[in-house]
Structure 1
Amino acid sequence: MTPRQRRELKTHMENELTQLKEELAATEAHTKPAVTPDSAIGRISRVEAMQSRHIGEASARARKTRIARLEHALDHVDDEDYGLCIACEEPIPLARLRLIPEATHCVACAADMER
């Protein structure tokens, strides 16, 4: 991978992190309990509110996980082995890294892991 490609990936990761952190803040603001157990609303409304909160919490967890992975990738983007598959040690295609900068496996090895 060329230094220019590494810089492009680094910029892409930084932008992605900024966006994810903004989305996380918005999600967390909306997952605060809006319905207290003693509120006098209908049963269906209460269930809907609880489901919405659980969906928001799951979304926040997924964003936190992605943020942690991106921060780790950003810390290691300048390492010599960044962009190499940790299973087969072949280069991960640049197109895959542009899509998933935190990828640690090439497509073939990732597919093998899912089987």
Structure 2
Amino acid sequence: MTPQQRQELKQLLTSELATLKEELTATEDGTKPAVTPDSAIGRISRVEAMQSRHIGEASARARKARISRLAQALDIVEDDDYGYCVACEEPIPIARLRLVPEATHCVACASSFEP
């Protein structure tokens, strides 16, 4: 990986991290239901309020997990190990890193984890 590519990926990681943190804040603010399950009128309203809360919580958990992975990648982007598959130790293609800058596996090794 060239120094320019490494710098590009560092900027991408920083940008993605900032965007996700903003989205997480907005998601957490927006997941507070207008009708709480305890004060909902009728069974359907209660179910809708609970579903809305669960969807918001799942979305927040997914964002927090990705924020953590991006932060870890940002910490090691300057290391020589960044950009290499942790399974086969081959370089991860730059195109994959541009799409998933926190990737730790090449496509072949990542697909072996799929069910």
TM-score calculated relative to the size of structure 1: 0.93
2-side partners of 1:72 and 1:89: how far apart?
Answer: 18
1-side partners of 2:40 and 2:53: how far apart?
Answer: 18
Q: 2:113 corresponds to which residue?
A: 113
Where do 5+ consecutive residues of structure 1 fail to align?
A: none
Q: 1:39 corresponds to which residue?
A: 39
Contact 2:92 2:105 (C-alpha < 8 Å) held by counterparts: yes
2-side partners of 1:104 and 1:40: how far apart?
Answer: 45
Secondary structure at the residue paired with 2:98? helix
1:54-83 CA-partner distances (Å, limit 9, x unpaired)? 000000000000000000000000000100
Q: How does 1:16-27 map to 2 (within 5 A)?
A: 16-27=16-27
1-side partners of 2:15 and 2:63: how far apart?
Answer: 14
1:16-66 CA-partner distances (Å, limit 9, x unpaired)? 111100100011112235434442512111111110110000000000000
Identity across the alignment (%):
77
Q: 1:7 corresponds to which residue?
A: 7
Letter in 2 for 1:64: K
Letter in 2 for 1:52: S
Contact 2:37 2:50 (C-alpha < 8 Å) held by counterparts: no
1-side partners of 2:46 and 2:19: how far apart?
Answer: 31
Q: 2:62 corresponds to which residue?
A: 62
Check if 1:53 corresponds to 2:37: no
What is the number of equivalent residue pairs in this alignment?
115
1-side partners of 2:7 and 2:73: how far apart?
Answer: 13
Q: CA RMSD in A?
A: 1.3
